């Protein structure tokens, strides 16, 4: 059944279907869980599109990826043209993790660079609650905002609130997580989860010793952005016939992560590759190998500085796909362009750079705190580095 | 004190560590069959070291439970202490010792507040410590803007992470294991002292204890302080083991209660040994390790924990005569 599902999914995805996709053939039989059935969040068309974008060249100013667009499709915004200075409102899903903290500080700094054009920037934090965000958006609609930026907490639940905002005629800009409506002027986000998961898995599959064992560490099931990362990685591992000995959920808890990795080291003696759907606990995973006195296998993390520093200091075989925090700059830039009547791309797909051995040094900033995200595009913004500490 | 009420004799000495030792023995045999390597000194030491925080929390929870109360606040207290320690140390080794002292004192203080509210304001401890749990979560969230800042120093982390190297036969002996052994001895001595007997008597029958001159409120307050102290030490070990995170202590209160119940301690108090509680924690951790060896997904852990609580309490209730 599992293999049948995998074959169907692979054929939908247009991948090589003439290969058996379950378990390593020829090698020793898989002792682990394998990769299991494909996620029900998997959409093969989106997957194909994201993988294609990984190789695409972005248009826009060089060295400013937050202004660049992949495969632009410009939309007319002349009807929103308005004389400044403007009042820009932002309904934020949450500030409850370091990624969103770094992102929001970056956005505030971006606002500061446009002091002449932005008279007022209103921010409302929904604290991770759908109901609060629906109420927040409703409140903001009565506050004469010239543009409304929304970072939705969940896709389906926030859709009606965003649609209601569109109906008032205010230009709406959605970024990070999406909504199920085309009414916003533009939807801004990087390539996405498939690209993230694919890059990490390709690296691990290529760098590990042939026939080795991979442990996949996921934060939690059922979240679309994380499910897409895993579903892309699963396809890579299935295709490369990698022996995935376990797929475990860490809840983003470093202690739990260390225990899981330690357990797998006890059970299999060695683990030859670690794939992660998010970098938050990458350092804990590496520490588990160090504390057990085992060599650290090829691993993917993310662009958080604690991991990048460990990568450099310990000379790890590592890669860091990113979900860049510089995307928090783009909604402000988009809002001002829309209010100037300039064309913007919809969707606005941002490049999603990967940190590798070659460019690692560019992102290592000794002055920044360990949980800072290096791909913030914020080094040139006002208040750097103090604002982000 | 106990002969103020007539009681029927129990068939087996209830609350003794024998049943839990038997369960532990069975699990060890299963481990030896499935994964003999696990019992090699190196991996066994690493297992004992990483189990240290939950063993300590089980000991702390024991004091409170045996006196007839609950402490649901320990998990969030651990999280709070780890997050506070990271922010105050901020990677500076010179601040290690003062911050460590602060962690212990503040954890004891939280226990004191739990005890005073329960004893003097007569708020049921289930509610007191649930409230404390929420207050701590909220306060830490507010103070840290929702994501941990700063960094623990290597000096702070060594207690939970490093080991005495090159010990004959055993290899690496984690500091955490030594700390747990020391505190286990202290806890056992404490429970054999007058205070220990009074603590159990308070849990067994607070009215009878009070009538015979025991200051029930003060005794229970001390139990909460001990639980707070255990959470403080656990925070140091856990922060050391894994570094700073918002999840550092999540769910540990339930693991500790499960361990205590598994160790033969009666919910409601008056029965059980601290050694049983600590062995209960070790057994629980070994059970989870064994589940992993048999390829059971880690996601069923909460369900197993819940089943253990229900089963252990049901067995205990079936064995105890109704009062």
* DSSP assignments along A213-261, one per residue: EEEEEES-TT-HHHHHHHHHHHHHHHHTT-EEEEEEE-TT-HHHHHHHH
Q: Please name the member of A256, A291, A369 whose beta carbon is closest to the beta carbon of B149.
A: A369
pLDDT (mean) for A227-253: 91
Quick check: A386 pLDDT over 50? Answer: yes
B20 domain residue, yes or no: no
Q: Say what the pLDDT of residue B299 is.
A: 74
What is the rounded average pLDDT for all residues in chain A?
88
For A26, the token pair is: 């020829």
Q: Say what the pLDDT of residue B322 is.
A: 52
Under 8 Å between Cβ of A205 and A366: no
Q: What are the backbone angles phi and psi of residue A41, rounded to the nearest 5°?
A: -85, -5
Q: Say what the pLDDT of residue B289 is.
A: 86
Per-residue confidence at A267, pLDDT binned at 50, 70, 90?
A: confident
Burial class (CB in 10 A: 0-12, 13-18, 19+), B159: buried
The number of angstroms, rounded, from the C-alpha of A100 to the middle of its chain's C-alpha atoms is 11
pLDDT (mean) for B16-24: 87
| Residue A321, helix vs strand vs coil | strand
* Nearest residue of B to residue A101, measured between CA atoms: B147
B260 domain residue, yes or no: yes
CATH topology of domain A2-52+193-321: Rossmann fold (3.40.50)
pLDDT (mean) for B112-122: 95
What is the distance between the alpha carbons of residues A106 and A95, in angstroms, rounded to a whole number?
Answer: 13
Residues A311/A313/A314/A315 CA torsion (nearest 10 deg): 70
Q: Say what the pLDDT of residue B7 is.
A: 46
pLDDT (mean) for B11-34: 82
Residue % of chain A over a pLDDT of 70:
92
pLDDT (mean) for A152-156: 88
**ipTM score:** 0.77
Contact assignment for B35 to A267 by CB distance below 8 Å: yes
Burial class (CB in 10 A: 0-12, 13-18, 19+), B278: buried
Per-residue confidence at A11, pLDDT binned at 50, 70, 90?
A: very low
CATH 3.40.50.10890 assigned to domain A78-184? The reply is no
Contact assignment for B50 to A258 by CB distance below 8 Å: yes
Number of Cβ pairs closer than 8 Å across A and B?
A: 91
The upper half-sphere exposure of residue B123, i.e. CA atoms within 13 Å in the direction of its Cβ, equals 17
pLDDT (mean) for B286-314: 84
Task: Write out pLDDT tens, residues B230-279.
Answer: 999 999 999 999 888 888 888 899 999 999 999 989 888 888 999 999 99
What is the rounded average pLDDT for all residues in chain B?
89
**What DSSP string runs through A20-84?**
--SS-SSSSPP-S--S-SPPTT--HHHHHHHHHHHTPPPBS-TT-GGG-BBS--EE--GGG---S
Per-residue confidence at B169, pLDDT binned at 50, 70, 90?
A: confident
Quick check: B293 pLDDT over 70? Answer: yes
What is the distance between the alpha carbons of residues A137 and A166, in angstroms, rounded to a whole number?
Answer: 11
Q: Is B146 on the interface with A (CB under 8 A)?
A: yes
How large is the C-alpha radius of gyration of chain B? 20
Q: Say what the pLDDT of residue B3 is.
A: 45
Task: Write out pLDDT tens, residues A268-298.
Answer: 889 999 999 998 899 999 999 998 889 999 9
> Which residues form the domain of B118?
37-319
Under 8 Å between Cβ of A68 and A127: no
Q: Say what the pLDDT of residue B321 is.
A: 59
Cα distance from N-terminal residue to C-terminal residue, chain B: 16
Per-residue confidence at B39, pLDDT binned at 50, 70, 90?
A: confident
pTM for the model stands at: 0.81
What is the distance between the alpha carbons of residues B160 and A265, in angstroms, rounded to a whole number?
Answer: 19
Interface of A to B at Cβ within 8 Å reads 32-33, 94-98, 100-101, 221, 248-249, 251-260, 262-264, 266-267, 269, 280-281, 283-284, 287, 291-293, 306, 369-371
Q: Say what the pLDDT of residue B8 is.
A: 44
Quick check: B78 pLDDT over 80? Answer: yes
pLDDT (mean) for A240-268: 89
Task: Identify the CA nearest to B30 among candidates B288, B271, B260.
Answer: B288
Å between B320 CA and nearest CA of chain A:
37
- Domain pair A2-52+193-321 / A78-184, same fold: yes
Quick check: B145 pLDDT over 90? Answer: no
Dihedral sign from CA coordinates of A110, A113, A115, A118? negative
Quick check: A12 pLDDT over 50? Answer: no
The domain spans of chain A are 2-52+193-321, 78-184
pLDDT (mean) for A364-374: 89
Contact assignment for B146 to A95 by CB distance below 8 Å: yes
B173 domain residue, yes or no: yes
Task: Identify the CA nearest to A141 among candidates A118, A124, A156.
Answer: A124
pLDDT (mean) for B94-115: 96
Task: Write out pLDDT tens, residues B59-70.
Answer: 999 999 999 999
pLDDT (mean) for B12-21: 71
Element (H, E) at A119: strand A118-125
Residue A233 CB neighbour total at 10 angstroms:
32
B63 domain residue, yes or no: yes
Per-residue confidence at B71, pLDDT binned at 50, 70, 90?
A: very high
Residue % of chain B over a pLDDT of 70:
93
pLDDT (mean) for B87-94: 90
Task: Write out pLDDT tens, residues B177-219.
Answer: 999 999 999 999 999 999 999 999 999 999 999 999 999 999 9
CATH number at residue B75: 1.10.3470
Under 8 Å between Cβ of A248 and A215: yes
B195 domain residue, yes or no: yes
| Residue B306, helix vs strand vs coil | helix
Hey, which residues 14-53 in chain B have their CB within 8 Å of chain A? 35, 37-38, 42-43, 46-47, 50
What is the tally of structural domains in chain B?
1
B29 domain residue, yes or no: no
Q: Say what the pLDDT of residue A156 is.
A: 86
B31 domain residue, yes or no: no
Per-residue confidence at A149, pLDDT binned at 50, 70, 90?
A: very high
Task: Write out pLDDT tens, residues A345-356.
Answer: 999 999 999 999
């Amino acid at each position: 059944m599992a293999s049948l599902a995998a074959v169907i999914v692979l054929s939908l995805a247009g991948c090589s279907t003439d290969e058996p996709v379950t378990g390593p053939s020829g090698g020793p039989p898989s002792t682990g869980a394998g990769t299991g059935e494909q996620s029900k969040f998997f959409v093969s068309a989106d997957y194909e599109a994201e993988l294609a974008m990984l190789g695409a060249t972005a248009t826009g100013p060089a060295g400013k990826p937050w202004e660049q667009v992949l495969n632009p499709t410009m939309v007319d915004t002349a009807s929103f043209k308005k004389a400044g200075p403007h009042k820009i409102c932002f309904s934020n899903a949450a500030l409850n993790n370091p990624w969103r903290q770094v992102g929001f500080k970056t956005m505030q700094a971006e606002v500061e660079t446009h002091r002449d054009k932005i008279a007022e920037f209103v921010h409302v934090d929904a604290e991770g609650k759908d109901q609060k965000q629906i109420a927040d958006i409703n409140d903001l609609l009565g506050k004469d905002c010239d543009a409304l930026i929304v970072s939705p907490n969940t896709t389906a639940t926030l859709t009606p609130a965003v649609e209601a905002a569109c109906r008032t005629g205010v230009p709406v800009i959605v970024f990070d997580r999406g909504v199920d409506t085309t009414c916003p002027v533009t939807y801004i986000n990087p390539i996405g989860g498939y690209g993230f998961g694919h890059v990490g898995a390709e690296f691990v599959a290529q760098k590990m010793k042939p026939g080795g064992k991979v442990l996949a560490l996921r934060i939690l099931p059922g979240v679309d952005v994380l499910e897409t990362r895993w579903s892309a990685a699963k396809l890579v591992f299935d295709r490369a016939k990698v022996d995935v000995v376990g797929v475990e959920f860490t809840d983003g808890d470093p202690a739990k992560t260390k225990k899981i990795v330690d357990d797998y080291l006890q059970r299999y003696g060695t683990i030859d590759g670690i794939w992660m759907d998010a970098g938050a606990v990458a350092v804990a995973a590496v520490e588990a190998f160090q504390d057990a006195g085992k060599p650290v296998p090829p691993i993917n993390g993310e662009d958080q500085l604690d991991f990048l520093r460990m990568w450099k200091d310990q000379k790890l075989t590592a890669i860091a796909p990113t979900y860049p925090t510089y995307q928090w700059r783009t909604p402000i830039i988009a809002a001002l362009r829309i209010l100037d009547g300039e064309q913007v791309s919809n969707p606005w797909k941002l490049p999603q750079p990967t940190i590798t051995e070659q460019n690692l040094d560019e992102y290592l900033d000794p002055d920044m705190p360990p949980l800072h995200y290096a791909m913030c595009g914020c080094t040139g913004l006002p208040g750097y580095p103090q604002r982000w500490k | 004190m106990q002969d103020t009420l007539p009681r029927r004799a129990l068939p087996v000495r209830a609350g003794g560590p024998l049943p839990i030792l038997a369960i532990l023995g069975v699990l060890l045999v299963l481990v030896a069959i499935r994964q003999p390597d696990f019992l090699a000194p190196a991996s066994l030491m690493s297992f004992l070291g990483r189990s240290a925080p939950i063993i300590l929390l089980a000991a702390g929870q024991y004091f409170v439970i045996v006196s007839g109360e609950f402490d649901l606040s320990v998990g969030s207290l651990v999280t709070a202490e780890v997050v506070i320690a990271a922010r105050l140390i901020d990677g500076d080794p010179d601040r290690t010792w003062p911050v460590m002292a602060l962690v212990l004192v503040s954890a004891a203080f939280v226990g004191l507040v739990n005890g005073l509210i329960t004893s003097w304001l007569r708020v049921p401890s289930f509610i007191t410590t649930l409230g404390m749990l929420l207050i701590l979560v909220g306060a830490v969230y507010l103070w840290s803007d929702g994501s941990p800042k700063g960094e623990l120093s290597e000096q702070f982390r060594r207690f939970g992470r490093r080991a005495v190297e090159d010990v004959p036969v055993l290899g690496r002996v984690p500091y955490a294991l030594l700390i747990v052994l020391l505190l286990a001895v202290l806890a056992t001595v404490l429970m054999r002292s007058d205070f220990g007997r009074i603590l159990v008597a308070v849990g067994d029958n607070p009215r009878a204890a009070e009538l015979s001159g025991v200051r029930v409120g003060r005794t229970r307050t001390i139990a909460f302080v001990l639980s707070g102290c255990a959470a403080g030490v656990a925070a140091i070990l856990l922060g050391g083991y894994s570094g700073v995170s918002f999840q550092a202590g999540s769910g540990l209160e339930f693991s500790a209660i499960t361990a205590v119940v598994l160790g033969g301690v009666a919910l409601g108090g008056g029965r059980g040994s601290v050694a049983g509680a600590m062995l209960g924690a070790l057994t629980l951790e070994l059970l989870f390790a064994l589940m992993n060896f048999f390829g059971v997904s880690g996601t069923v852990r909460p369900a197993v924990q819940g089943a253990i609580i229900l089963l252990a309490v049901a067995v205990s209730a079936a064995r105890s005569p109704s009062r």
